[in-house]
Amino acid sequence: MKLGIADTSASAQDVEAGCNAALALMASRNVTPEDAYKAVMSRSNRERRFDRHAARAWDDAEDEAIRVAYHGKEPDDDPVLVPIGAEVD
């Protein structure tokens, strides 16, 4: 799954670096981006059963992507990590 950052003013290079950092974080936790995204969407839909470990991996990966893309500074906009061009069940 390819990732992007929506609603951002960061440069394309910074977004790419942030997304690579997000993918590395998920990989370090043995969670695929697909599983992490599915879990976080299940949680946002208030489903009772979802993979908490995978949802946390997505949350932390999003934080890491934004930290890297904005060089540790607080963004002026409201960026979010998003899947790009992937179908997720």
Contact 34, 73 (CB under 8 A): no
Q: Which pairing describes strands 80-84 and 2-6: parallel, antiparallel, or unpaired?
A: antiparallel
Tell me the pTM: 0.91
pLDDT the model gives residue 50 = 95
Q: Give the model's pLDDT for residue 89.
A: 54
Which candidate, 69, 28, 31, 38, places its Cα nearest to that of 53? 31
Q: Are 18 and 60 in contact (CB under 8 A)?
A: no
pLDDT score at 86: 60
Residue-level pLDDT, tens digit, the chain, 89 residues: 999 999 999 999 999 999 999 999 999 999 999 999 999 999 999 999 999 999 999 999 999 999 999 999 999 899 999 999 766 55
Domain boundaries, given as residue ranges, for the chain? 2-72
pLDDT, residue 85, reads 76
